[in-house]
Amino acid sequence: MAKNWNCTDCGILIWNRYKHCKSCSHKGQRNIHFGGRAQISGKDNPNWRGGISKDKYTYYFKKTLSKLVRSIIPKCQECYIKTDLVAHHIDYDKLNNTTQNLITLCRSCNAKVNFNRELHKTNLAYKREHNFLII
């Protein structure tokens, strides 16, 4: 027979082995992915880049250029799969839409290259400049 538990924040009866009920977990009081701390957003987050994620892509990039790059380079240039591709700006500047600055990545690899940006920027630029693209 299962044991009943009480949420340590609000005290309501819960039927699982966790310490907190679903509503208390989602309120930001606890976050199991960050060791029990609430998520840090804005300037206090260690990944803050001065608000550049708020910049908008150009209309030309969204409507035309993104589709064109994905059709010319139909594989992710990190893991070489052909599905769920996005066009990625090598220098992370959303306004620099030159063809030498664009490369295709899958959504998973695109998320990974946002960390340690300088390393990925150098590696992707080298692949693009020396035509080491896998097509």
**Coil, strand, or helix at residue 111?**
helix
Q: How confident is the model at residue 53 (pLDDT cuts 50, 70, 90)?
A: low
Q: Which residues pair with 13 in a beta bridge?
A: 6
Q: Which tens digits make up the pLDDT trace of 79-122?
A: 999 999 999 999 988 999 998 999 999 999 999 998 888 999 99
Q: Which tens digits make up the pLDDT trace of 119-133?
A: 999 999 998 888 888
Q: How far does Cα 117 stand from its chain's mean position?
A: 12
E strands present in 25-84: none
Residues 94 and 60: beta-carbon distance below 8 Å: no
> Which has the minimum average pLDDT: 47-51, 54-58, 79-83?
47-51
H/E segment holding residue 5: strand 5-6
Choice between 91 and 3, residue whose per-residue pLDDT is larger: 91
The single-letter code of the amino acid at 84 is D
Is the overall model pTM greater than 0.85, yes or no? no
Q: Domain segments of the chain: what residues?
A: 5-39, 52-129
